C-alpha cells in the first residue's frame, strides 16, 4: 500500500507516520515544509519511501507523477487559530485541499483529511450538521468551506462511483511531537513546562459562566486520533465528515491536576486533589485575558453518533490516562 501523508513532520502527521509503520506500512511519501528545520525530529526513526516539500508535491501529484497512490492522509494546514490573514488561510487550508481532492478523485485515490472542531465555533452543540456550524475565526471558516465541498461531492456521488473521502473534526488534540507548535501546543504541553520551570500551573479564572478552571473541552490523545485514521484506512467504504474527540468534556482543572500529579508521582510524591494543589500554590488562577473575550470556546464535546454509526468502536483515553502517558513521554524526552 502506497500512502501519502501531508503535514508529515507536524504533530498529528508524524504520529500517523509512526502509526502506519507500526502496522507494517512503510511505502510512505512524506510531504511538509521544513523551513522550521528542527521539526525533522518528529520523523526520526520513521520508515519513509520519499519526502517532498509541499511546494513541489501538489502539482506533481495532480500530474500523476507518483503512480498509483492508495490513499492521502492530508494533515497539512495552517492551524493557528489566531492567524487573521484570510487570504493566506484560504489558500492554505481551502484551495490546496480542494485541488488535492480533485486530483484524488481523478486518480481513484482515497482521501482522509483533517478538519476541525473550530467549525462549530460559538455553537453549544457539536453535531456534524450545518445548523451547528458557527466558526469564530477564519481558520474555522476555511475548514468549514472545504467540508461543505466534500459534502456536496459525497451527496452527488452514487455508491461505489467515487473514492473514499473522510474528514475528521479534531477536537483538542494533545500528545507527543507537538513541541514545535509553540503557543498553539496543547494545554497539557504548557502545563508540563510551566510546572517544570516555575513549580506551578496557571489556569484562567472564572469566565463565561464557568468558575475558575472549569471551562471544559473535549481533550483527545493523539494516539487515539491515529487509531481512528487507521480504522478508516482499513474501511474504504466509509465516507463522510466525522467528529474525532472522546465524546466527553473535561475541565481544564482536570488537565492541570493530571499533569501535576503525574510529575509528582514520578518523583515519589503522593497525588493530591485539586483543592490541595490550589492550597499549596501548585495550581494558580489568573484573570481571563481581555484579548480572548468573545473569541473563546468555553465548552466543547464531540457528538460521536456519526462515528459510531460507521462501526468504529475505538475507546478513547480519559484525560487522567492520556496525560499520564504524555507526561512520561515528555519526561523521557527531557532526559535525552
Catalytic residue among 2, 54, 98, 181: 181
Phi, psi of 308 (to 5 degrees): -65, -30
Catalytic residue status for 170: no
**285 is an active site residue:** no
- DSSP summary character for residue 25: -
Catalytic residue among 120, 139, 174, 326: 139
Between CA 148 and CA 237 the distance in angstroms is 20
Q: Quick one: 108 exposed, middle or buried, by C-beta within 10 A (0-12, 13-18, 19+)? A: exposed
**Cα–Cα distance list, 59 to 62, 101, 103 (Å):** 5, 13, 9
CB 54 within 8 A of CB 6: yes
Round to whole Å and give the CA distance between 25 and 47.
Answer: 9
Q: Give CA separation, 8 vs 202, 213, 259, in Å.
A: 32, 33, 27
Rounded Cα gap, residues 318 and 246, in angstroms: 8
| Rounded Cα gap, residues 11 and 114, in angstroms | 12
Catalytic residue numbers read 139, 181
Amino acid at each position: 500500500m502506497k500512502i501519502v501523508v501531508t503535514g508529515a513532520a507536524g504533530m498529528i502527521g508524524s504520529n500517523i507516520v509512526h502509526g502506519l509503520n507500526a502496522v507494517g506500512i512503510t511505502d510512505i511519501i512524506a510531504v511538509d515544509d521544513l523551513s522550521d528545520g528542527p521539526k525533522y525530529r518528529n520523523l526520526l526513526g520513521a520508515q519513509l519511501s520519499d519526502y517532498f516539500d509541499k511546494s513541489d508535491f501538489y502539482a506533481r501529484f495532480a500530474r500523476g507523477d507518483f503512480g498509483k497512490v492508495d490513499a492521502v492522509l492530508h494533515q497539512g494546514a495552517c492551524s493557528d487559530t489566531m492567524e487573521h490573514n484570510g487570504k493566506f488561510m484560504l489558500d492554505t487550508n481551502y484551495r490546496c485541499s480542494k485541488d488535492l481532492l480533485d486530483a484524488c478523485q481523478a486518480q481513484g485515490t482515497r482521501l482522509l483529511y483533517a478538519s476541525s472542531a473550530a467549525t462549530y465555533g460559538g455553537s453549544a452543540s457539536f453535531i456534524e450538521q450545518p445548523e451547528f456550524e458557527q466558526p469564530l475565526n477564519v481558520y474555522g471558516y476555511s475548514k468549514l468551506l472545504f467540508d461543505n465541498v466534500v459534502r456536496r461531492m459525497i451527496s452527488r456521488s452514487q455508491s461505489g462511483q467515487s473514492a473514499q473521502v473522510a474528514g475528521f473534526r479534531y477536537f483538542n488534540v494533545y500528545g507527543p511531537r507537538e513541541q514545535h507548535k509553540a503557543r498553539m501546543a496543547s494545554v497539557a504541553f504548557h502545563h508540563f513546562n510551566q510546572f517544570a520551570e516555575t513549580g506551578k500551573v496557571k489556569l484562567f479564572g472564572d469566565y463565561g459562566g464557568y468558575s475558575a478552571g472549569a471551562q471544559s473541552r473535549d481533550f483527545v490523545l493523539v494516539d487515539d486520533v491515529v487509531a481512528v485514521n487507521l480504522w478508516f484506512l482499513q474501511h474504504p467504504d466509509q465516507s463522510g465528515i466525522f467528529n474525532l474527540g472522546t465524546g466527553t468534556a473535561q475541565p481544564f482543572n482536570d488537565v492541570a491536576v493530571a499533569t501535576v500529579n503525574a510529575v509528582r508521582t514520578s518523583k515519589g510524591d503522593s497525588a493530591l486533589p485539586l483543592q490541595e494543589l490550589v492550597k499549596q500554590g501548585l495550581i494558580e488562577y489568573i484573570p481571563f485575558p481581555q484579548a480572548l473575550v468573545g473569541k473563546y470556546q468555553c465548552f466543547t464535546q464531540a457528538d460521536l453518533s456519526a462515528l459510531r454509526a460507521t462501526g468504529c468502536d475505538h475507546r478513547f483515553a480519559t484525560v487522567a490516562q492520556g496525560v499520564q502517558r504524555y507526561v512520561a513521554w515528555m519526561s523521557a524526552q527531557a532526559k535525552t
